[in-house]
Amino acid sequence: MDSFIKKIFSGVTDNFVHLQFQRFSRGDFKDKALMNINKSKEVYSITATYEYANEFVRSVAEKMKEGEQTNVAGIIVSTRNLKALPEFSNLLANAGVKQFMGVKQFKINTEMSKNEIIQLCDILPNSFLGLSFSANGTDLKIKAKAPKSAKPSTGDKKPKPDFCKIKTADISLVKEIVFDFSDFKDSSESLSHKNSEFLMFKRAEISYDFIIKDIIIPKNEKDPAKMREMAVRKGKIIRRALIDGKESVSESNFEA
């Protein structure tokens, strides 16, 4: 699964992209979706802010083998009482629950299969999945706490990209996660070389500014909850990348 950022810069908009911006008002939101990537030999260490959490859960789960089980630990954050849903009667039977201001956190620690994790992502696209697990040599760790609400930028302090962590030697997974693979490819590498698809860099730091210029409200919808859910954000995203000391800036308009 490609990241929502990669989709926007590729001119693609889907429900996953739309969901990323539901929490945003009009304004300038600087230093969002931060990601650092370090390479040591053939192992990549990726650290990122919370925006990538659900995508990381799905992407790592998709790398699991059919029938394989892995221990999944962490929290699911939702405004719904998920224990009351038949789909989660077994998964959340013994889950601890915390509640604050109508938001519920369900704590889990259980064995799950590839299909069960992906089904969780499909059924709960609006929920936050702060889950940690391993799959085929890839380790995913996400903080088991709810992320803070998005607010327009007022200062220069950057958040630390340490909410989500992945350690992997799976180059295909890195290519899904990291936007613009060409930034990392060694142009001097022969295309016939067996490692021509290897990501040739040591360290990369990537950040984005979300500029929300307008919010388009559906005209024929009267339900306030559905109006908020269906509202489309319009603006642009500015991307800043520092790769082995080389800096680049690009931007893309979006409507999602």
Q: Return the pLDDT at 37.
A: 94
Q: Answer whether residue 34 is part of any domain.
A: yes
In order of 98, 143, 187, the CA distances from 103 in angstroms are 8, 17, 49
Given a cut of 50, is residue 190 above it in pLDDT? no
The pLDDT mean for the chain works out to: 87
φ and ψ at residue 171, rounded to 5 degrees: -65, -35
Residue 213 maps to a domain: yes
- What is the extent of the structural domain holding 162? 11-191+198-255
pLDDT tens per residue across span 110-129: 999 999 999 999 999 999 99
The pLDDT of residue 153 is 65
Q: Is the pLDDT at 191 greater than 50, yes or no?
A: no
pLDDT at residue 154 greater than cutoff 80: no
Query: What pLDDT does 67 receive?
Result: 86
Strand order in the sheet with 43-48: 96-100, 103-113, 69-78, 128-135, 138-142, 164-168, 43-48, 27-40, 203-216, 232-243, 246-255
Residue 1 lies in a domain: no
Spell out the residues 6+ positions from residue 89 whose beta carbon is closer than 8 angstroms to its own.
83
Is the model's pLDDT at 245 over the cut of 60? yes
* Residue 229: per-residue pLDDT: 84
Q: Is the pLDDT of residue 17 over 50?
A: yes
Strands 232-243 and 43-48: unpaired
Q: How confident is the model at residue 156 (pLDDT cuts 50, 70, 90)?
A: low
Contact 60, 166 (CB under 8 A): yes
Mean pLDDT calculated for residue range 57-77? 94
In a domain, 95, yes or no: yes
Q: Assess if residue 2 is contained within a domain.
A: no
Query: What is the value of pTM for the model shown?
Result: 0.87
Say what the alpha-carbon torsion angle 36, 39, 45, 46 is, to the nearest 10 degrees.
30
Please, are residues 50 and 34 in contact by the beta-carbon 8 Å criterion? Answer: no
Do 142 and 164 touch, CB atoms closer than 8 A? Answer: yes
Task: Give the list of residues 6+ apart from residue 134 with CB closer than 8 angstroms, or none.
Answer: 70, 71, 140
DSSP-based three-state secondary structure for 178: coil
Residue type, 117: I
High-pLDDT (> 90) share of the chain, %: 55
Q: Is the pLDDT of residue 28 over 90?
A: yes
Q: Looking at per-residue confidence, does 180 or 210 come out higher? A: 210
Split into its structural domains, the chain has a count of 1
Is residue 216 situated within a structural domain? yes
What's the number of CA atoms in the CB half-sphere (13 Å) around residue 121? 23
pLDDT at 93 > cutoff 50? yes
The stretch 53-81 carries a mean pLDDT of 94
The pLDDT value recorded for residue 174 is 86
**Residue 251 placed within a domain:** yes
